[in-house]
Amino acid sequence: MQIMEGQPMVSYSAGSVNSVVYKLTKLKDCSIVTEGLHKDLMILLESFGQVVVLPSKMNWQVQVWMKMVRELVFDIEDWIDQMPVMPNTGDQQLDLEEEVKIFKARIEHACELCERCDLVIEVPSDLRDPASLPGHSQVTVASHILFEEKTTLVGMEVPMDELVKHLTGEHEKSLKVVSILGMEGLGKTTLGNEIYSKIRGNFECRAFVTLGRRPSIRETVQEILCQVNPSAEKKMNLKIDPRRGRGTAPDLKNLLAELSKYLATKRYFILVDGLWSIQAWKIINSALPNENNGSRVLTTTCISAVAQRCSVHPMDIYQIEPLNEEMSARLYLNLIRQKEWPADHAEVTKNMFEMCGGMPLALVLAAGLLASKCKELPESKISVVSAVEQYSKSDGIMKILQMSYDALSLPLRSCLLYLSVFREGCTIKKDRLIRLWIAERFIPRKDGERRAQEVRGDGGEETRGDGGEETRGEIIGYENGGKGTADEKSLWETGQLYFKELIIRRLIEPVFNYDDDQPVGCTVHGVVLDFINSLSSKGNFVTVGGSHLITDMVRRFSMDCFNNNDKDRDATLASFAMHLSRVRSISVLGDIEGMAGRSALTFSGKIDGTPVLPSFKLLRVLDLEGTYHLRSRHLQGIGGLVLLRYLGVAETAIDSLPEEIGELGQLETLNLRKTKKLSTLPTSIAKQKMLAHLLIDCTIKLPSEILQMQGLEEVSTVGVYSNRSIDSVAELLRKSERLRGLGIRLDGSHLSNDNKSVRTFLMEVTRSNKLTCLSLDCFNFDLLDIRLEFPPSDQLRRFELKISVPVPGRSAHMMTSLVSVTHLDIEIVQLEDEAVRALGGLPHLVLLKLVSSGGIRFSSQLKWNPEGRCKVGVDHGFKCVRVLSLVCRSGGTELEFTTGAMKELQRLTLDFSAREALCMYGNLSFGIEHLSSLTRVHARISCKSSVASEVNTVKDAIREQADASNFP
């Protein structure tokens, strides 16, 4: 049987079979013993590859057999990875033969069981063929879904109008709590979100929080406080505990008192989404004062008793029901972008519609399945969908979810199941998720892309490709210039396509912000997450901490410390140690010290106890990103984790890394971003031959040895404060054959006057035929003309440029040469038409952050001039801009959009003064109504020197124009 190296079936249904076969292939020439093991494993693989059937079709015998094989494969791979060298003594050879004999016996048993139970079933080729990976025609056909931010409210217009009217009644000054009640999947959150967006401006302060089944009440109350009073977050961050090393976590009692005190004099509006318990509501409600200020609270829940406890009067409970057939059809056709039932797969489409039973979530998921244009849609492949079959509302959703899952390729199934690592209701960062997918080996690697140290040759030496060059997977960019084609996707690009595919299938919901034109993260609907968690648990894919009733061998472990104020508050990694002896991946979420002052990362549970992490010798992935109270001493002994390939400690309070980190010879990714107390890195990191992705802040000082590591593929962000440091970066660019991503923060004030080093660096950027992602931060305007002498390589896919020093408007014409820029952050003095046209002419610009630090024709005093705004129309360009942030420090908004302007613009941020906008221009004609693709408008209005009527006038003008554009 031919083994495709490019498809390591590290998935729910295939374990890491191909990875093991690949490693044994490299070892078999070294020993006749391992060659025999390789042959036996190939026989097992042939059976295993044929038994990979749709999970919905697997009986218990198949599931038990596949679980047995997965564990066997994991054990063999662990054995290979721990083998330091080939045996060179008689005793070592005997030990090796004995271990191989045990593995061969287990393989023979698995093969016999497969034959005896007649488990061999042909696997659909499109599920295991790497050529069918998502990201080709499927993504193109449904690309509109990737950028959808607006919610389709079909059949909910009446409920929304009624609830808005009920919540905004001015005659009731006492606190009113209104509850939306209904089963999961009916659109309660969608309805609540739309109501929140519509009326939030009517209140002095507001907050929107989601709880879920196992919420951290302290985190929830703290989030409400920070939303209603943003300055509270800054105050909390200033409370540094020297013993703990970062801002202390306020206890719940103090948070409740502070929140109640702040809200006592405010008219507030709070949306509490996903309430599952009366106890959680009682605690939150205790901090919501009723001072007759006309405050309002809106809750959503599936439980009638909870709704009754939240809302005193029955009239304050609004129960929503499934959509009727007419509204369901309207929503369904809207979601699949059809005006009438499509001719293709008409029977399947209608049968799936019947299965949805008027449940909006089911309709959305069914539309996602149709949008994927997958090969499983033809009627001959989907007999399970029958209008004759009757499903309950919840069964219909589960059936559609199972169909969606069955239609995924094997690697994509693993990527979806991995979401069970994260807690309900959280936003999962896209970059973090894709990096973890890669580290877990879910994403297929093409021939020749395996890293050298995944396998070992004679004497434990690195295996090398032709010409002695290490073979390795590349995460950023793609081969070109005679060394590849544009069709060859890197691991990172493939991961992005997987992420997009899950959005298109509507299995995850994209999250956007104003710092990127692409989704920056995702959330998972509670029903979908329940489905994922169920599959993950059955297949022993991820074990979630919180219960000591673990019966299977744990391979991936997720410990949720957000709930450390409940019955699991004393749980530590050490308490699970007997189940984690062979764990390969650990993720820790939340506060590792908890409310009881215990540490989840020490053996004893004491804060100053011995770290437990070094005891997990088979660990490949360690994700501690965002954990509260993580300190440097928790990483002591980490050098013993010789198989570790991913270490994420971003957004933690570590202030140093142990020198022994250089002993992590397999480490590929080191994420240290937003570690504010970390100022330098140990030189031992330069020993790591496999390190490819070094993610840091510009405040971290890099030893020169690190910038000499020619194996780096991504380094971001490097602080450059001297000629010597920029020379080191230039040398890295010149010598590296692998560097794909580079982030630089340049302080020109410390560079020589002749800018020789800058010119050398820019020349290397131009010459690089590998660099696909470049970020230049604080690139002073004085150096802009130098940069223009060196246009970047055509290889650049993403070029971020930030110019911190204000650019004179008269010099803005020079920006027309920045043809490669995709993301631009710039401040311009005296914004005029010439500068606007120069920016609009940048052909690849997708995001623009524009700060105007001077009025158009005003320098020393405000003056009414209704013609003063710069008009932006169809002839001004901006053909690709999807995100625009406009900050007007002079006060008024200096841009006015006209018909046909910025046709791709989806998100708009305005930041200006209400008083000065009226004084300067005498009107509020922003032209927002002409932005046809707009989905979000965010306005920050300065109230300084303004009266309430002026602020309200501005707010009303923005709302009116936004509603007239595209109902964002």
Strand 428-429, strand 521-523: pairing: antiparallel
Mean of the pLDDT values across residues 489-500?
89
Specify which residues 180 forms β-bridges with: 300, 318
What are the helix (H) ranges across 657-737?
723-735
> pLDDT at position 276, please?
93
Q: How far, in Å, CA of 734 to CA of 744, rounded?
A: 16
How confident is residue 388, by pLDDT bands cut at 50, 70 and 90? very low
Question: The dihedral of CA 34, 40, 44, 47: what is its sign?
Answer: positive
On the question of pLDDT at 107 being above 70, the answer is: yes
pLDDT: which is higher, 207 or 751: 207
What are the DSSP E strand ranges found in 751-795? 773-777
Neighbours of 640 (CB within 10 A): 15
On the question of pLDDT at 49 being above 60, the answer is: no
- The pLDDT > 90 percentage for the chain reads 36
How confident is residue 57, by pLDDT bands cut at 50, 70 and 90? low
- The string of DSSP letters for 214-266 reads S--HHHHHHHHHHHH-HHHHHHHHH-EETTTTEE----HHHHHHHHHHHHTTS
On the question of pLDDT at 162 being above 70, the answer is: yes
Token couple for 237? 């961050």
* φ, ψ (nearest 5 deg) of residue 374: -75, 165
Indicate the domain borders of the chain. 1-123, 157-319, 323-407, 698-796, 801-968
Please tell me the least confidently modeled range out of 237-251, 738-752, 879-893.
237-251
Specify which residues 177 forms β-bridges with: 297
- Report, in angstroms and rounded to the nearest whole number, the Rg of the chain calculated over CA atoms: 29
Token couple for 142? 């449904």
Question: The dihedral of CA 434, 439, 440, 446: what is its sign?
Answer: positive
pLDDT: which is higher, 71 or 577: 71
Burial class, 17, CB count within 10 angstroms (exposed 0-12 / middle 13-18 / buried 19+): buried
Q: How far, in Å, CA of 224 to CA of 230, rounded?
A: 10
Secondary structure of 567-621 in the HEC alphabet? CCCCCCCHHHHHHCCCCCEEEEEEECCCCCCCCCCECCCCCCCCECHHHCCCCCE
Q: How far, in Å, CA of 481 to CA of 111, rounded?
A: 47
How confident is residue 138, by pLDDT bands cut at 50, 70 and 90? very low
Q: CB within 8 A of 130, min separation 6: which ones?
A: 4, 6, 7, 444, 446
Q: Coil, strand, or helix at residue 933?
A: coil
Please tell me the least confidently modeled range out of 340-354, 755-769, 817-831, 930-944.
340-354
> pLDDT at position 596, please?
53
Instruction: Tell me the per-residue pLDDT of 10-23, one tens digit each, with 9 for 90 and over.
Output: 344 444 666 777 77
On the question of pLDDT at 863 being above 60, the answer is: no
Instruction: Tell me the per-residue pLDDT of 36-48, one tens digit each, with 9 for 90 and over.
Output: 677 776 766 665 5
Element (H, E) at 523: strand 521-523
On the question of pLDDT at 870 being above 60, the answer is: yes
On the question of pLDDT at 861 being above 80, the answer is: no
> pLDDT at position 891, please?
62
Q: How far, in Å, CA of 123 to CA of 389, rounded?
A: 26
pLDDT: which is higher, 244 or 23: 23
How confident is residue 785, by pLDDT bands cut at 50, 70 and 90? low
Q: Scanning the structure block, which residue is given the tokens 């209104």?
A: 178
How confident is residue 768, by pLDDT bands cut at 50, 70 and 90? confident
Burial class, 459, CB count within 10 angstroms (exposed 0-12 / middle 13-18 / buried 19+): exposed
How confident is residue 592, by pLDDT bands cut at 50, 70 and 90? confident
> pLDDT at position 51, please?
47
Element (H, E) at 896: strand 895-897
Mean of the pLDDT values across residues 211-231?
90
> pLDDT at position 378, please?
42
Instruction: Tell me the per-residue pLDDT of 899-916, one tens digit each, with 9 for 90 and over.
Output: 999 999 999 999 988 888
Q: How far, in Å, CA of 643 to CA of 659, rounded?
A: 17
On the question of pLDDT at 548 being above 60, the answer is: no
> pLDDT at position 48, please?
55
482 conformational bin, left if phi > 0, alpha if psi -120 to 50, beta if neither: left
On the question of pLDDT at 558 being above 90, the answer is: yes
What's the mean pLDDT when you consider all of the chain?
79
Mean of the pLDDT values across residues 174-180?
95
How confident is residue 310, by pLDDT bands cut at 50, 70 and 90? very high
Instruction: Tell me the per-residue pLDDT of 412-465, one tens digit each, with 9 for 90 and over.
Output: 999 999 999 999 989 999 999 999 999 999 987 764 444 433 333 233 333 333
> pLDDT at position 73, please?
84
Please tell me the least confidently modeled range out of 621-625, 722-726, 772-776.
722-726
On the question of pLDDT at 598 being above 60, the answer is: yes
Distances from the Cα of 263 to the Cαs of 145, 203, 251, 489, 951, in angstroms? Answer: 39, 12, 19, 53, 22
Q: Scanning the structure block, which residue is given the tokens 């879904």?
A: 145
Mean of the pLDDT values across residues 706-722?
89
> pLDDT at position 15, please?
43
Please tell me the least confidently modeled range out of 164-178, 371-385, 561-575, 720-734.
371-385
Amino acid at 698: C
Mean of the pLDDT values across residues 731-745?
89
Instruction: Tell me the per-residue pLDDT of 663-689, one tens digit each, with 9 for 90 and over.
Output: 999 999 999 999 989 999 999 999 998
Instruction: Give the highest mean pLDDT range of 18-22, 747-751, 815-819, 957-961.
Output: 957-961
CATH 3.50.50.60 at 157-319, yes or no: no
Q: What angle do CA 375, 379, 382 make, to 5 degrees?
A: 75
> pLDDT at position 664, please?
94
Contact (Cβ atoms closer than 8 angstroms) between residue 802 and residue 781: no
Q: Coil, strand, or helix at residue 192?
A: helix
Specify which residues 942 forms β-bridges with: 913
- The pLDDT > 70 percentage for the chain reads 74
What are the DSSP E strand ranges found in 35-164? none
* φ, ψ (nearest 5 deg) of residue 840: -65, -20
Q: How far, in Å, CA of 424 to CA of 402, rounded?
A: 20
Mean of the pLDDT values across residues 204-217?
91
Distances from the Cα of 538 to the Cαs of 13, 63, 531, in angstroms? Answer: 11, 9, 11
Q: How far, in Å, CA of 921 to CA of 70, rounded?
A: 70
On the question of pLDDT at 262 being above 70, the answer is: yes
Q: How far, in Å, CA of 897 to CA of 418, rounded?
A: 44
Q: Coil, strand, or helix at residue 556?
A: strand
Strand 883-888, strand 907-913: pairing: parallel
Q: Coil, strand, or helix at residue 681?
A: coil
Q: How far, in Å, CA of 348 to CA of 385, rounded?
A: 7
Contact (Cβ atoms closer than 8 angstroms) between residue 634 and residue 613: yes
Of 816, 629, 768, 631, which Cα lies nearest the Cα of 247? 629
Mean of the pLDDT values across residues 711-722?
90
Specify which residues 693 forms β-bridges with: 669, 714
Query: What is the per-residue burial (b if ≥16 Cβ within 10 Å, else e) of 490-523?
Result: bbbbbbbbbbbbbbbbbbbbbebebebbbbbbbb
Please tell me the least confidently modeled range out of 86-90, 110-114, 428-432.
86-90
Neighbours of 172 (CB within 10 A): 13
> pLDDT at position 243, please?
35
Q: Coil, strand, or helix at residue 821?
A: coil
Contact (Cβ atoms closer than 8 angstroms) between residue 68 and residue 51: no
Please tell me the least confidently modeled range out of 235-249, 497-511, 646-660.
235-249
Token couple for 752? 């020589």
Please tell me the least confidently modeled range out of 892-896, 909-913, 923-927.
892-896
Q: How far, in Å, CA of 761 to CA of 758, rounded?
A: 5
Contact (Cβ atoms closer than 8 angstroms) between residue 625 and residue 633: no
Q: What is the pTM of this model?
A: 0.87
Please tell me the least confidently modeled range out of 116-130, 533-547, 880-894.
116-130
